[in-house]
Amino acid sequence: MSNVADNSGEIILSILVPVFNEELTIVDLIDLVQQSDIGTIKKEIIVINDGSTDKTPELLSNIEDIVLINHQKNQGKGRAIRTGIQHSTGDVIVIQDADLEYDPNDFQNLIRPIIDGDADVVYGSRRLKKENEQHSALRFYIGGVVLTAITNTLYPTANLTDEPTCYKAFRASVLRSIDLKCQRFEFCPEVTAKILRQGINIIEVPISYYPRTVSQGKKISWWDGLEAIWTLLKYRVL
């Protein structure tokens, strides 16, 4: 496993931010991303506006130093991430939700194993930081635990504590090599399944977590949980 720093004089981190109707948080979130300390590594912030119908497009148009891509209509988080990957030029890619549940100050610890050549894929685990508020509603916590258990059962090399975490970081060449089909929230189980099917080890690091409620804009539903289970099963046998 090669050291990213050995491959290029300048290391670039591509931060993919899929966003749909997040007018209350998007400005603060981008500011946090821009201000986060990752040392000498250059940030490429790619925001994919996935057909937002609130003030998100207007707010994004006034933010400097981002790459803004607009989907004319909503296509789903997974499709937005795929668009972001296509436009990314970085050596490392990380996924960032457009709300404030995850702290960009965790980027440095999240990407360090990849930069140092110790890993190709790193997941930020909410469960490994015990002082976190673990959920905004018990059903979200149980759903995450169940999905993680199913992942570890179907893919015995996984040994994960938090499969559905947003914070997933990849050596860019590895992520770009995966033929993703996802449209919605099934990005997480699909990329996890395909990474593990390739025999690539996923390591985890602890991250902070500030969960929001459905009334605050959380969009995932029970149906997405069922779709995630189906996705894990499907890519285990296909």
- Residue 209: which pLDDT band, with cuts at 50, 70 and 90? very high
- Per-residue b or e along 79-112, where b marks 16 or more CB atoms closer than 10 Å to that residue's CB: bbbbbbbeebebbbbbbbbbbbbbebebbeebbb
Contact 16, 84 (CB under 8 A): yes
Give the per-residue pLDDT at 8: 53
- Topology of domain 8-237, per CATH? Spore Coat Polysaccharide Biosynthesis Protein SpsA; Chain A (3.90.550)
Q: What does the domain layout of the chain look like in residue ranges?
A: 8-237
Give the per-residue pLDDT at 186: 96
pTM confidence score: 0.94
- Residue 208: which pLDDT band, with cuts at 50, 70 and 90? very high
Q: How many CB atoms lie within 10 A of CB 226?
A: 11
Give the per-residue pLDDT at 116: 96
Give me the chain's average pLDDT, please: 93
Give the per-residue pLDDT at 138: 80
Summarised one tens digit per residue, pLDDT across range 129-176 is 999 887 767 887 898 999 999 999 999 999 999 999 999 999 999 999
Give the per-residue pLDDT at 4: 78
Which string of DSSP letters, residue by residue, matches 124-154?
Answer: EESTT-TTS---SSHHHHHHHHHHHHHHHHH
Task: Report the pLDDT averaged over residues 67-76.
Answer: 97
Task: Report the pLDDT averaged over residues 58-82.
Answer: 97
Give the per-residue pLDDT at 237: 86
Contact 135, 211 (CB under 8 A): yes
